[in-house]
Amino acid sequence: MTVEEVMREEEAAVAGPIETTDRYKVVIKEINAWFGRKQALKNINLNIKDKSVTAFIGPSGCGKTTLIRCLNRMHEMTPNARVDGQVLVDGADIYDKSIDPVVVKRRVGMVFQKPNPFPTMSISDNVAAGLKLNGIKDKNLIAEVVEESLKGAALWEEVRTELEKPGMSLSGGQQQRLCIARALAMQPEVLLMDEPTSALDPLASSKIEELVRSLKEHVTIVIVTHNMQQAARVSDFTAFMYLGEMIEYGATSQIFKNPEKELTERYISGKFG
Amino acid sequence: MSSKERKNYRMILHEEMKKRYRTRIITDNLVTVFALVCVVAAIIPLGSILLEVIKNGASALSFEFLTAPQGSIGSGKGGIGPAIQGTIIVVGLASLIATPVGVLAGIYLSEFAGNGIFPTVVRFLNNILTGLPSIVIGIVGYVTIVLFLGSFSVWAGALSLSIIMMPIVVIVTEETLRIVPHSLREAGYALGISKAKITMNIVLTTAKSGVLTGIGLGIARIAGETAPLIMTILGTSLFFSGLEGPVDALPLRIWRLASQPYESAHAFGWGAALILILMVLGMNVGLRLLARKKGFTVRAEA
């Protein structure tokens, strides 16, 4: 399938333009972020629709990973890093003083660039880690959640007979799906994916992409990607970032087919970045 | 660079590499051989010590030797029972004190302290503590605990040994936790797990084998200490009589036996040395098994 065909399909799939009265799951308001004195994000505003896939694209160092890490308060955990602004999830500011950053991370899950299963844990313990370490002891419940999460991450059929094997024994692509299952076990409302396929081969990547498309039925997904074809294939909305600024944001089909800004057009057509 | 220049340059490069090929192979082999020689040089003293101890000590071993107190001097009767018992008690108690304190201090330095002034000072003092002559620690134990309690005692010995062991455990724990990939901590944070739980259940378990190795090193070190024990537990030919009283220990017993002018005492000394080596070896093997149990090998690049 060519990119154009994919985009035509996407166009049909996306319901209406972005400025509708639809309820937004995540509202990013005037977010600025710094690493020490270096400003990584400059006044970012963005609305993310419920149960959609939003892709952040842009050249290396443009701030897309920083932005995604601001959505679950992970950015501020880096030494000397700082954030300013608001991120509303269901209308409540996750940066509000009364909000516990640990609780934010339970609602907003995250999958990282490199698969990072816990090396001392078995496959099922990896999936159950979030539950167990948050105090859930009911074994039947845990077993049920493990199965459901592994099914959700399209890994169940491959590992059902070897749940007690170490998580590290899986292949790279399977490990990444294990990490997705681990995040799903916490029943997140929003799932952040930071270049989840950049360490994987094309076959494993396409499995993850398939998964992203099916997961959006239940969760709102924000995905950072280097790969523009991937953004075109999986996302409903795309945000193009450059040098810490949000250059353009809109329906994926519109961004790829008919971008408003020249910079976006040049990036998408591969003239820079 | 024009294409002709490039071609020339390639020729020169090729010639140079050809010229150096032989030298390179020879250097390569020389370094390999040198490394092998060094390994052998390091193993020879270790092997010869072990052989010598086994040769001279094995004949002394018997059930009586392991369990009975020493007979009258020069008689060649009895055994080193009190010394074995004393070493187990004093070293055991010392490790029970030093392990939790050392591991927790290492966790603090690696996970919570950052790089401020306080942790820097703690690290510095801890490094000094590892280099402190053990006799000095023995004297401190004598002045503070022995004089305070009015008697040589197990407590004094165990506390002194724990001070020798603690900095080793601190350093190894901190260093091992530092090499646990940061991505694992982030994965934990992303699941909404508290920092305390991440530290204890993810970071520490991942680093388990390294931390256990550190504890093993510490125990091996204090099991062989003699000087601080002279100042604290004194040594006795009797069995353990309470934590406030003196007790015997293997290194002390070896030293005492070696300074006696009797052949039979020397044979006992060799036997005691063999037992001490076997105990340290057994402890290390035990810790290895513990490290392997229910754990999976950590991949460095994870």
Q: How far apart are CA A127 and CA A150, in angstroms?
A: 8
All residues of chain A having their beta carbon less than 8 Å from the beta carbon of residue B188 are 118, 129, 133
Between these two residues, A273 and A106, which has the higher pLDDT value?
A106
Q: DSSP letters along A14-80, please?
A: S-S-SSSSPPEEEEEEEEEEEETTEEEEEEEEEEEETT-EEEEE-STTSSHHHHHHHTTT-GGGSTT
Which residue does chain A place closest to B206, by CA atoms? Answer: A120
Give the model's pLDDT for residue B187: 95
Closest CA to A175 of A119, A94, A220, A104: A119
Give the model's pLDDT for residue A17: 42
Q: How far apart are CA B192 and CA B190, in angstroms?
A: 5
Which residue does chain A place closest to B201, by CA atoms? Answer: A133
* Residue A179 neighbours by CB under 8 Å, 6+ apart: A111, A112, A115, A116, A117, B187
In the CATH scheme, what architecture does the domain A3-114+189-268 have? Answer: 3-Layer(aba) Sandwich (3.40)
Q: Does residue A166 belong to the interface with chain B, where contact is any CB pair within 8 Å? A: yes
Summarize pLDDT for A121-136 with one digit per residue, the tens. Answer: 999 999 999 999 998 9
Summarize pLDDT for A33-79 with one digit per residue, the tens. Answer: 999 999 999 999 999 999 999 999 999 889 999 999 999 999 999 98
- Cβ distance of B302 and A168 shorter than 8 Å: yes
DSSP B297: P
| Sign of the C-alpha dihedral computed for residues B231, B237, B239 and B244 taken in this order | negative
Encoded amino acid at A33, one letter: A
| Sign of the C-alpha dihedral computed for residues A170, A65, A207 and A27 taken in this order | positive
> How many Å lie between the alpha carbon of B193 and the closest alpha carbon of chain A?
6
All residues of chain B having their beta carbon less than 8 Å from the beta carbon of residue A166 are 296
Domain borders along chain A are 3-114+189-268
Q: Has domain B63-292 been given CATH number 1.10.3720.10?
A: yes
Q: How far apart are CA A118 and CA B184, in angstroms?
A: 6
- Cβ distance of B192 and A110 shorter than 8 Å: no
- Cβ distance of A120 and B208 shorter than 8 Å: yes
All residues of chain A having their beta carbon less than 8 Å from the beta carbon of residue B206 are 118-120
Summarize pLDDT for A140-193 with one digit per residue, the tens. Answer: 999 999 999 999 898 999 999 999 999 999 999 999 999 999 999 999 999 999
Q: DSSP letters along B34-64, please?
A: HHHHHHHHHHHHHHHHHHHHHHHHGGG--HH
ipTM: 0.85
Give the model's pLDDT for residue B219: 95
- Determine which of A76-85, A198-207, A235-244 has the lowest per-residue pLDDT on average: A198-207
- Cβ distance of A120 and B296 shorter than 8 Å: yes
Q: How far apart are CA A238 and CA A262, in angstroms?
A: 16
Closest CA to A168 of A157, A176, A180: A176
Out of A110, A117, A120, name the one closest to residue B190 (CB). A110
Contact B173, B136 (CB under 8 A): no
Q: Does residue A40 belong to the interface with chain B, where contact is any CB pair within 8 Å? A: no
Q: Is the pLDDT of residue B91 over 60?
A: yes
- Cβ distance of A186 and B191 shorter than 8 Å: yes
- Cβ distance of A133 and B198 shorter than 8 Å: yes
Number of neighbouring beta carbons within 10 Å of residue A265 = 16
Closest CA to B200 of A138, A132, A19, A75: A132
Q: Is the pLDDT of residue B3 over 90?
A: no
Q: Does residue A119 belong to the interface with chain B, where contact is any CB pair within 8 Å? A: yes
All residues of chain A having their beta carbon less than 8 Å from the beta carbon of residue B296 are 119-120, 166, 168
How many contacts does A have with B, using Cβ atoms within 8 A? Answer: 82
Tell me, letter by letter, the H, E, C secondary structure of A183-218: HHCCCCCEEEEECCCCCCCHHHHHHHHHHHHHHCCC
Report pTM: 0.83
Percent of chain A at pLDDT > 70 equals: 92
- Cβ distance of B193 and A134 shorter than 8 Å: yes
Q: Is the pLDDT of residue A18 over 50?
A: no
Contact A46, A28 (CB under 8 A): yes
Main-chain dihedrals φ then ψ at residue A194, nearest 5 degrees:
-95, 95
Domain borders along chain B are 3-60, 63-292
Q: What is the enclosing helix (H) or strand (E) of A111?
A: strand A108-111
Q: How far apart are CA B64 and CA B80, in angstroms?
A: 9
- Cβ distance of A182 and B187 shorter than 8 Å: yes
Which residue does chain B place closest to A187, by CA atoms? Answer: B191
- Cβ distance of B190 and A103 shorter than 8 Å: no
